[in-house]
Amino acid sequence: MSQAEIKILGIRHHGAGSCLRMIKALESFQPDAICIELPLETESALAQLSETGNQCPLAFLLYEEAHPQNCFYLPFADFSPEYQAIKYGIQTNVKIFAMDMPAQYALIGSQFSQKDPKNLIADQKNIIRDPLGYLAKLQGYKDSEIWWTQYFEQWTDHSQLFEVIQQLMIELRSRSKDLDDEETLVREKFMRQRINNCIQEGYKKIAVVCGAWHGPVLSPEYLHSKSAEKISNYRSVKTSCALIPWSYPRLLLNGHYTAGVKSPAWNDSLFNQPDAPLSHWLTRAAREFREYGYMIGTSDIIDAENLAYQLTYLRGLVHPGIQELEETLICIFGQGDPHRIQLLSEKIFVGDKIGKITVENHKLPFIQEFHKQLKQLNLNSYWGQENEKALQLDLRKPKHLEKSRFIHKTLLLQLKWGFQLNLDFSAKGNFHEHWKFEWNPELELRLIQLAILGNTFHEVILRILNELLLSKKTDLAMLGSVLEHALKTGMDEVFKDISIQLHANCLEIEDVTELSRLIRPLVAGISYGNLHDYDIQHTQQLVQLILPRMVFNFGHQCQGIQDEKARQMCEVMLTIHSSFYHLKDETLKQEWKEQVNRFSIDPTVHPIIRGKGISLSMDEEWMSEKDLSDRLIMECGDQHSPMNTALWIEGFLLTASAFHLNKDEMIQTLNEWLVQLTEEHFKAVLPLLRRSFSQISYGELVRIKRSVRKKENTPEKISLVDWTLREDLLEMVRKKLNFYSSSPN
């Protein structure tokens, strides 16, 4: 084997300090080849990193082609040593080799033994599990991240840094007898093999960029001693590599990503502003505080920087760390209140930076089509980056209708990035849609999973729907949601298959609560189908199947149920009733009227349901005020317990006004019932009554109060109304006058 000079650069993944020192070391060493701790499959994607339009943080996604969900990510930021090593190699035309074990083997992790090496004492096993943590504890540190940062990330002399790290790791590995878990040892075999291949190919100066732990077993001496080693035959899968955007929140050190860092935003400042990282970071933090409403001036930034350096010197440190930054922010920006910092800690310490890649980097046709449509519809700004602005669509405009259809297609494909908002007062009519978008890197994996299923939107949607319809786990609510989105995409050809499946499922289900989850999107589809320009024939057929069964079964399913279930059934009742505002079926509506009248007086039906039924009948003028007065007297009678009467009142007032109760004779009946309660019963029903009356309007409360006050010698128990009125009045004063008033007399 010919001689070659090998420079081991043992780094900490995403370490800004070691990254800066590594760049200096490469410039000084001037290698003709760079071997980097990356799986072999990433070599084909390395050149993409130099393309204009790409912006860190990014990640290599390595996945099994047949099953894309079997995958892993390799993220990097500007301050990641591996990324800067690649960037250096591309800019200087130095050959770059990915030397880690190919992902085709790593994706079958179960084939590697997870057992601890035998014949090792506990101290040696601790070294293998967490070598940096072991060294940190020897130095009296509980946190290995802080220890590494203090001793190595802030080291200024690159010529000595990597040699010191190498000597430390050599000592640790000698204590652990060069043993480790099987997968790590196999990975290191692949690394040595790749470096040896570089030497055989004639490269004379080879820089090796790897995690510090691997450095000792990649040294020239070790390479020579292991030159004859063989790698066993391991099982493999066909694997692909894709470059995808990443984000700072997903570079965070946590239980899911142990190679992360505690503060990506601070590391960003350390790397991009090495001469004044603290000033840069504090200025950005002050901007976040100002946007939140805190007054942070230039003098506060200067005071914060001075305090951070004073804390650093007092603790014998070279540069401030995360602990000094936190304490400085609490003291100066937070004025001693740690809660102020907690509110903004994610933005200040983590950051919200999201990477970008050019569309040309996507080789799969489906992904190309997806990004092409994003661009054509001007939706690029809502994908792959933070965007607080809501998208407002007017479906009467052809371009807006196209955007709506595209968004509904993505939701049909389970790309969960768009969330429809409730329309506010500025939206006039039902032809508006307001959307909010939340992107995350996992959506890029979902795109790849979809791209495996087909080359076009149409093809992939049909395949997903087919799988969904064949699945036995699909419930009615999910099918109803699918149907709603499918209708709004304008894909008429999918209606028939979904309708058949829904028809079959509905025949087996009697529970009106479950059926109600489906009826809402179906009725909405019939009402607003013309806005989305689709055929409502299949939807109408389903409604004609489901709604009658809900009408006839509702009353029976309200017998012998608990209070919470009764409140859920009230929602079902309103769903059934509101359906008749959108459907022209007078025969069924008449049947519903009879059903409501029947279960509203049925003593076996829960009192909340009975109360809501009476309220609904009054709204529809299905009963007179005299009928209501008689019913109220009966519900307040001795045959009903005080709690049942209170529940009946709750049901009557649920999602309704007190208009029908706001008559002197009704109020008198309620007042008399309340007055005759024993103290025990009064205390029992008071919380429920307070909650029920608190939702009615201020004007109605005033009307009730005046009616009650007409009666002389009103007992103190009527303070229920006074209490509710006082709370409502106070809230009005607070909102209208924007100050806190004392309680009214």
DSSP string over 479-538: HHHHHHHHHHHT-GGGHHHHHHHHHHHHHT---HHHHHHHHHHHHHHHHHHHHHT---HH
Query: What three-state secondary structure class fits 16?
Result: helix
Q: Residue 637 corresponds to which amino acid?
A: G
Helix (H) or strand (E) holding 148: helix 144-148
Give the C-alpha separation, 544 to 584, whole Å.
11
Residue 740: the pLDDT is: 36
Rg (CA), the chain: 35
Q: Residue 442: which region, alpha, beta or left (left: phi > 0; alpha: psi -120 to 50)?
A: alpha
Query: What three-state secondary structure class fits 371?
Result: helix
Residue 26: the pLDDT is: 95
Residue 738: the pLDDT is: 42
Cβ proximity of 8 and 215 under 8 Å: yes
Distances (CA, A) of 122 to 116, 118, 262, 538, 713: 10, 11, 28, 68, 83
pTM of the model: 0.67
Cβ proximity of 650 and 606 under 8 Å: no
Give the C-alpha separation, 19 to 153, whole Å.
9
Cβ proximity of 132 and 148 under 8 Å: yes
Residue 712: the pLDDT is: 45
Sign of CA dihedral 334, 339, 344, 348: positive
Residue 584: the pLDDT is: 77
Residue 426: the pLDDT is: 39
Give the C-alpha separation, 488 to 418, whole Å.
14
Distances (CA, A) of 163 to 29, 33, 89, 139, 216: 14, 20, 22, 20, 11
Q: What tokens appear for 71 in the block?
A: 């995958």
Instruction: Calculate the CA dihedral of residues 716, 718, 720, 722 and round it to 10 degrees.
Output: -90
Cβ proximity of 670 and 646 under 8 Å: no
Q: Which one-letter DSSP state was computed for residue 741?
A: P
For the beta carbon of residue 56, count every other beta carbon within 10 angstroms: 22
Residue 527: the pLDDT is: 65
Query: What three-state secondary structure class fits 638?
Result: coil
Partnered with residue 6 across adjacent β-strands are 206
Query: What three-state secondary structure class fits 559?
Result: strand
In this structure, are strands 391-394 and 432-437 parallel, antiparallel, or unpaired? antiparallel
Partnered with residue 432 across adjacent β-strands are 394
**pLDDT tens per residue across span 185-231:** 999 999 999 999 999 999 999 999 999 899 999 999 888 888 778 88
Q: Which one-letter DSSP state was computed for residue 574?
A: H
Give the C-alpha separation, 519 to 524, whole Å.
8
Longest Cα–Cα distance in the chain = 112
Residue 305: the pLDDT is: 93
Residues of the chain with pLDDT under 50: 1, 424-429, 712, 714-721, 723-745
Cβ proximity of 136 and 272 under 8 Å: no
Residue 700: the pLDDT is: 65
